[in-house]
Amino acid sequence: MRVEKDLIGEMEIDEDVYYGIQTVRACQNFSISGRTIELYPHLIRSMAYIKKAAAMSNQSVGVLDQEKKDVICQAVDEIVNGEMKNQFPVDIYQAGGGISINMNVNEVIANRANELLTGHKGYNCIHPNEHVNMSQSTNDVLPSAMKMACYFYIDDLLISLNKIECSLANKTEEFSGVVKIARTCLQDAVPITLGQQFSGYHSFIKRQIEEMKKLQKNCLSIVIGATAVGTGIGAAPGYTEKIYEYLPEVSHLAVIKVDNFFDGLQNADIYLKISSCLKGLSSGLSKIASDLRLLSSGPRAGFAEINLPAVQPGSSIMPGKINPCIPEMMMQVCFDVYGNDQAITFAVDRGELDLNIWEPIILKNIFDSFSILTNCITLFTEKCLNGIKANKTVCLKNAENSLSLSVVISSIFGYQVANNIASEAYEKNLTVKEVAVEKGLFNEADAAELLNPENLTDAVKMHHLLNSRTL
């Protein structure tokens, strides 16, 4: 055991761990969820990058000697390389401002750097506040690291989005010749192809990818150098200029200084924008998943227009029942993202005066949204979308039997005539085509062409057919 002392008093610390007294106090004070900052590796890595760049900057301006800089940088590299597992036990629910997060990182780096320099843990040569946190404040470190982490999380999400975009593009092409009935208000509408329906899903995902890329650029504007409230007090002269040279080199991110430090510390609206984009993405994903549940419903008493891959039995009591498990999983993830967005909204709204101190709950919810969406989209793509099959016969039968084919009659003979044909077809359980021929509106050949649901999926082709005939 080793003994550490702070403002509250002394404490014995297990010799096996690299964190120190402030981390232990945080663990004792905030034993809430069991969800620790260890679960957010992009955040830990981003904070480590900042600590390394800060050490390099402080050494460059003459306030930190070369030897201390070198061991701090080496300790940081070990964190980045994943060599410091189980050293970040602070619960994500904690006091405002995230001081416990910053000090957990500072203490791990300080103890390891001291060990590298002297052969033992402790702060006799490298101190977490004096050296590792030099020229910094939690108030500028944590929000800067959060933005950088968001950049990395978007990178992960884009990998999943590119997979689903590719899958939907393939399905759009595969289903291009599958004629079916469209539905509005859950009622029969005019014919479309299953490919056209999937093209809407595909276009939505492509648009989300572009929006995410635009947002990602905004994550590169950070507040490091602002220190406590935006004045830069406590930072060594020249430090701020240097850290914007070293941090891009260390992190491989083209980070830049925000236009106004005071704005950057007071306002957290960037997280509302990111969360809103995640919520928008979720709304479309949930809609796609819901559509797949409807389209695959049955198999004998539903739409049954598509078959989803069977991944597990769907009932503990009904043999042979297969549920749309993966779409249902997707929808529940999306519901969770909506809840996370609401919590983020409250946290951003409650920033007061010169600092928004609610970063812990913001980062918890926004990083969780990123993680569950990234994982879920990949599973949704691989276990559901890629294996969807079209029931072409069912799709075509529904299209041919639809009363909405009367729209062709309406364009030639007027709405009232078409309405009468549709009503009679419904009452007699006949097709629109059968009634139209029976009433003498079309001969068999004209009816077969003009009331062919496949032709109705192409407005240009249908316009040409109508204009090229004299009826």
Tell me the catalytic residues: 315
Q: Residue 267 gets which letter from DSSP?
A: -
- 306's enclosing H/E stretch is strand 306-307
* C-alpha distance from residue 261 to each of 58, 269, 273, 409 (Å): 20, 14, 19, 66
Kindly state the tokens that stand for 310.
Answer: 């069977």
Q: Residue 18 gets which letter from DSSP?
A: S
Helix, strand or coil for residue 191? Answer: strand
* Helical H segments across 119-268, by residue range: 138-174, 194-218, 239-251, 261-266
Helix, strand or coil for residue 125? Answer: coil
Q: How far is CA 54 from the centre of its chain?
A: 30
β-strands 256-257, 221-222: how paired?
A: parallel
Torsion over CA: 354, 360, 363, 366 (sign): negative
Query: For residue 248, which of 222, 228, 267, 271 has the smallest C-alpha distance?
Result: 222
Q: Are 383 and 326 in contact (CB under 8 A)?
A: yes
What's the full length of the chain, in residues?
Answer: 471
Kindly state the tokens that stand for 34.
Answer: 């069991």
Interhelix angle 138-174/99-118, rounded to 10 degrees, is 100
Does 319 sit behind a cis peptide bond, omega within 30 degrees of 0 on the bond before it? no
* Interatomic CA distance for residues 123 and 127, integer angstroms: 5
Helix, strand or coil for residue 109? Answer: helix
Instruction: Output phi, psi for 44, to 5 deg.
Output: -60, -45
* Interatomic CA distance for residues 457 and 193, integer angstroms: 7
* Interatomic CA distance for residues 242 and 225, integer angstroms: 10
Burial (CB < 10 A; 0-12, 13-18, 19+), residue 433, is buried
Q: Which residues of 285-308 are buried (b: 16+ CB within 10 A; e: fewer)?
A: bbebbbbbbebbeeeeeebbbbbb
Q: Are 251 and 43 in contact (CB under 8 A)?
A: no
